Amino acid sequence: MTHTSSPVSSAELDEIYAFAIDLGKRAGKLLLDTVEKRIDGGSAGDSALLASEEKDSSVDIVTQTDEDVEAFIRTEIQSKYPSHKFLGEETYAKGSSRDYIIDSHPTWCVDPLDGTVNYTHLFPMFCVSIAFIHNHVPQIGIIHAPLQNQLFTSCTGRGAWLNQTHRLPLLQKPSIPPLPANAPSGCIFACEWGKDRRDTADGNMYRKVESFLNMAAEVGGREGRGGMVHGVRSLGSATLDLAYTAMGAFDIWWEGGCWEWDVAAGIAILQEAGGLVTTANPPEDPDTAPIEDVRLGSRLYLAIRPAGPSETETGREGQIRTVREVWRRVRNLDYSRPGS
Amino acid sequence: MTHTSSPVSSAELDEIYAFAIDLGKRAGKLLLDTVEKRIDGGSAGDSALLASEEKDSSVDIVTQTDEDVEAFIRTEIQSKYPSHKFLGEETYAKGSSRDYIIDSHPTWCVDPLDGTVNYTHLFPMFCVSIAFIHNHVPQIGIIHAPLQNQLFTSCTGRGAWLNQTHRLPLLQKPSIPPLPANAPSGCIFACEWGKDRRDTADGNMYRKVESFLNMAAEVGGREGRGGMVHGVRSLGSATLDLAYTAMGAFDIWWEGGCWEWDVAAGIAILQEAGGLVTTANPPEDPDTAPIEDVRLGSRLYLAIRPAGPSETETGREGQIRTVREVWRRVRNLDYSRPGS
């Protein structure tokens, strides 16, 4: 069943984009305010936060911040666009179902705080993520990492930007670099250890580590699967992994287990910047299988940075070649949707 | 043989510190300038850089930047302090010996660009690192990550600082948090895949991955070695790993293979902030072996963040407990000093 919602005009989209950018800036500022309270000790009014810290119940700080920032974003959106749907991480987490609920209606998909572990420890790699989705397509993406002083924004047809001044990917002149001829060698590979740490034979943790090893090992090693990537990076934020892939700083991001609010804004930004997103799990024949567009609710993602042409292939051809080279080296991950 | 060089007065140290901070700022600015040239395309004068980028010989850009920034730092130091010794990564790399050459004389130990892979790909986690060492003790540390807009500075007795305004570790009020009672659970564990990717049975790559797995796996898993750390992070810069450990953002950093210029400034900053640094390789009996101070040239490092007291132990006791818990979970790494 394909239902299509009435189109949004170009002028309307411009207005929504401006609203979303402002909202992302203000939400990031809220996150930063809670950090500053924690650093400076704050006044009597912050005693709850400080008491939490003292008791090492840092989980409480995160939950409170998550809820406060999501409530702020939801209120602003519902006030400005009462007909739009809203899907937030906190709201969804409290529901009973894990069904994928985004339909063709104009929908905001929001993670008030991605990188919660980083936030707790004050490692700067945390952010707010706001996406506007219409007819199943993420059209606007806003990612604000306030302690990094980085604001990533995009809107269909308007480009993807860092801090509203630098077009993504960052390296544009004289041209966007092609992917390395021997990719994944020469690439920065971003991946995450995630939360599934069960010591189960052939479970997700071991499948991930086997995949990381194949990507990292010397060429010729690992029974021919060694990818000798230039570097392996783990930041603890799926959202920022996608943002840095859109920026061109990471060449490849491969991950399972994320939810739609973790990736919706990042996918919007990456695609608008010229990147490619498909599924993490390799098909039966990675050499010939079609490269299907990512499904937002699939929980399995493989992203390739924007790429320019080389002397022998288009940028898109280089991306597809890189997808296949990754698929040859990674294992299937088991992150089905509970209840689906 | 222990030779001690004549002491540096407090006033002299203040002057050297002010000089070092200024030098770190200017060197970071030089790095940033080369980045901006790459982003904006630059003018005709930058054609060499751009041509390199076109040919994908990004190694040339790194080498040129490394050499230029090191030459700038060396010239400034030799002009201001002609009697001091200078050890720079580039200078050393061109020499024929890999001996540890820092003695008791006032010595500057400099990495003009740490995180070279990140720099090449424009991932912001790169920095300049400047240490001043006297009588074998790193006394001043300067780490400047210009694209992160982060300047870490320290001097013995003067505290450790972020951007000269925030004392390290960042969480100070009401008190510096103790290490978790069940560490490494609850900790952020920073580690790096490094450059040794040889597919050799029980080689460094496999010993590292086995150690990462032990730290990451659920408690009770991995035959009792599962550490269930809160998160595993890999940034691609040993220097910034140390800086974030001093900041308190990382709890544990474990690595082998670094050289003295990679870690000298970071160790100065971490120690001044109250952190602990010892060897990465577990002793025969990790439960009772003495916790020896790190040797700068050892190439094996285990760092624990600054920690406050809990109700049952001092901060130092918590750090020692955490060191032993890490040692129980990690393998010995083979990074001897060539020729030693």
Q: At residue A224, does pLDDT exceed 50? A: yes
Strand order in the sheet with B188-190: B231-233, B188-190, B252-256, B300-304, B276-278
**Three-state SS annotation for chain A:** CCCCCCCCCHHHHHHHHHHHHHHHHHHHHHHHHHHHHHHHCCCHHHHHHHHHHHCCCHHHHHHHHHHHHHHHHHHHHHHHCCCCEEEEHHHHHHCCCCCCCCCCCCEEEEEEEECHHHHHHCCCCCEEEEEEEECCEEEEEEEEECCCCEEEEEECCCEEEECCCEECCCCCCCCCCCCCCCCCECCEEECCCCCCCCCCCCCHHHHHHHHHHHHHCCCCCHHHCCCCECEEEECCCHHHHHHHHHHCCCCEEEEECCCHHHHHHHHHHHHHHCCEEECCCCCCCCCCCCCCCCCCCCCEEEEECCCCCCCCCCHHHHHHHHHHHHHCCCCCCCCCCCCC
Residues annotated within a binding site of A for Mg(2+): 89, 111, 113-114, 262
Residue in A177, A178, A193 nearest the CB of B216: A193
Q: What is the pLDDT of residue B63?
A: 87
Find the angle CA(B326)-CA(B331)-CA(B333) to the nearest 5 degrees: 115
Ligand-binding annotation for B262, yes or no, is: yes
Identify whether B174 is preceded by a cis peptide bond (ω within 30 of 0).
yes
For residues B140 and B145, give the distance between their C-alpha atoms in angstroms, rounded to a whole number: 17
Residues annotated within a binding site of A: 89, 111, 113-114, 262
For residues B126 and B108, give the distance between their C-alpha atoms in angstroms, rounded to a whole number: 20
For residues B298 and B340, give the distance between their C-alpha atoms in angstroms, rounded to a whole number: 11
> H/E element holding B48?
helix B47-54
Name residues whose C-beta falls within 8 Å of residue B285's C-beta, 6 or more positions apart in sequence. none
Q: Please indicate whether, in this complex, the C-beta atoms of A205 and B217 are within 8 angstroms of each other.
A: yes
Residue B329 burial (CB < 10 Å; 0-12/13-18/19+)? buried
> pLDDT tens digits for A47-63?
334 333 444 455 678 88
Interface check for B249 against chain A (CB to CB < 8 A): the answer is: yes
Kindly list the residues from chain A whose CB atom is less than 8 angstroms away from the CB atom of residue B233. 123, 234-236
Q: Are A116 and A213 in contact (CB under 8 A)?
A: no
Ligand-binding annotation for B111, yes or no, is: yes
Q: Are B291 and B320 in contact (CB under 8 A)?
A: yes
Q: What is the pLDDT of residue A46?
A: 41
For residues A116 and A128, give the distance between their C-alpha atoms in angstroms, rounded to a whole number: 10
Q: Are A274 and A247 in contact (CB under 8 A)?
A: no
The one-digit pLDDT tens for each residue of chain B (340 residues) are: 457 888 899 999 999 999 999 999 999 999 999 998 888 654 433 433 433 344 445 567 888 999 999 999 999 999 999 999 999 988 888 887 888 889 999 999 999 999 999 999 999 999 999 999 999 999 999 999 999 999 999 999 999 999 999 999 999 888 999 999 999 999 999 999 999 999 999 999 999 999 999 999 999 999 999 999 999 999 999 999 999 999 999 999 999 999 999 999 999 999 999 999 999 999 999 999 999 999 999 999 999 999 999 999 999 999 999 999 999 999 999 998 875 5
Q: Where are the domains of chain B?
A: 10-167, 188-327
Interface check for A329 against chain B (CB to CB < 8 A): the answer is: no
Beta bridge partners of A267: none
CB within 8 Å of chain B, chain A residues 163-222 = 166, 170-175, 177-178, 180, 186, 188, 193, 197-199, 205, 209, 212-213, 216-218, 220-222
Class of domain B10-167: alpha beta
CA distances from B223 to A196, B208, B328 (A): 18, 17, 12
Q: ipTM score of the complex? A: 0.94
Name residues whose C-beta falls within 8 Å of residue B71's C-beta, 6 or more positions apart in sequence. none
Q: Are A32 and A147 in contact (CB under 8 A)?
A: yes
Interface check for B102 against chain A (CB to CB < 8 A): the answer is: no
For residues A203 and A197, give the distance between their C-alpha atoms in angstroms, rounded to a whole number: 9
CA B92 to chain centre: 18
| Tokens 């995180």, located at residue | B115
Q: Which CATH architecture has domain B188-327?
A: 3-Layer(aba) Sandwich (3.40)
